[in-house]
Structure 1
Amino acid sequence: MTTVTVRPMTEDEYDAWQAELAEEYAADQVAAGRWAADGAVERAREENADLLPAGRDTPRMLLLRGVDADGEPVGRAWVGLDHPRGAPGIAFLYDIEILESRRGAGLGRALLDAVEEATRRAGAGALELNVFGRNAVAIGLYASNGYGVVTQQMRKAL
């Protein structure tokens, strides 16, 4: 059984994560056809800054680093304890990722379990997330971990 625990991000980890997150989030939004490529990274940075006005000290946010049994970093996660659309008692998973060099070893499921436990301990009764439709691996992970579709957007190219 693969075990991952979570701890708060350090300031250095937070700074590195913010730079990576803006690039990744912008690329996902562009690939999904939701944003134009021009200015996407800046838009992602602005959205993240709006959600994290006090950085890693923003209240009601869990900014977590996943570590393996040896204490080595394997991933990260960001949970808002208040749902962005105001759903009571439901936390929102903004980001979860296993380091590319550590993928394929069951760490994603273990990190998700650890994040869910941290969210439960923080008082949330449920955890919601968005996943891009092209991310079949993540969709499979979430479905096999008990997540169900709450809303669904669909698109057809014309």
Structure 2
Amino acid sequence: MIIRPAVEGDAGRLAEIQNPVIRDTAITFNPKERSETEMRVAVRDRPCFLVAEVGGRVMGFACYDQLRKGPGYARTVEHTIVISEEGRGQGMGRALMDAIVEHARDAGIGSIWAGVSGENPAGVAFHASLGFEEVARLPKVGYK
């Protein structure tokens, strides 16, 4: 497995990985699937966008962006992590998280947030295993 920065040429595969999660689950409340163009823009514009590659094939990604706009949030980010179905259970999630945490630390980021849906108990457990702490529950906030 190789962890590397995403490039715009990965955009099609990134959409293939993310769209089943958008389409088939309530893990994300975004109802609109991502186009290759949208993923290309995300790769270009996010301060950190990494992929896990196995045998030359992208199998998952992690990225982060500022939690909210404005200078008061400049050192606070929220991350996204998505592993393809065939890539799950191989340590990719942990490797990607280790890499974005290191990137954030090197960039002077003070806080990394994870907005994990209650519909995603595996995501809650995964983040807890990495040392993330639950700081709030936001009932009746996200719908799909």
- Give the distance between the partners of 1:143 and 1:67, measured in 2 at CA: 25
Cα deviation 1:61-87 (Å, max 9, x = unaligned): 31211246x77644211211x222653
Q: Secondary structure at the match of 1:113?
A: helix
**Match for residue 12 of structure 1?**
9
Partner residue, 1:56: 43
TM-superposed deviation, 1:118 = 1.5
* 2:64 aligned with 1:65: no
User: Contact 1:63–1:79 (CA<8 Å) still a contact in 2?
Assistant: yes
Across the aligned residues of Structure 1 and Structure 2, the Cα RMSD in angstroms comes to 3.3
Task: Give the structure-1-normalised TM-score.
Answer: 0.67
CA shift, 1:110, in A, is 2.2
1:83 partner amino acid: L
- Deviation, 1:90, is 1.1
* Secondary structure in structure 1 of the residue aligned to 2:10: helix
- Alignment of 1:83 with 2:83, yes or no, is no
| Percent of pairs with identical residues | 26
Is the Cα–Cα contact under 8 Å of residues 17 and 82 in structure 2 kept in the other structure? no
Given candidates 118, 121, 138, the residue that maps to 2:106 is 121
Residue 91 to residue 5, structure 1, CA distance change in 2 (3 Å): farther
The question of whether the paired residues in 2 share the 8 Å contact of 1:5 and 1:114 is answered with no
- Figure out how many residues of one structure are paired with residues of the other and give that number: 137
Conservation of the 8 A alpha-carbon contact between 2:51 and 2:62: yes
- Unaligned 5+ runs, structure 1: none
- What TM-score results when the alignment is normalised by the length of structure 2? 0.72
* Compared CA separation, residues 142 and 101, structure 1 to 2 (3 A): same
Structure 1 or 2, whichever has the larger Rg, is 1
Distance 2:34 2:92 in 1: 27
Q: Supply the distance in 1 between the matched residues of 2:42 and 2:19 (Cα, whole angstroms).
A: 14
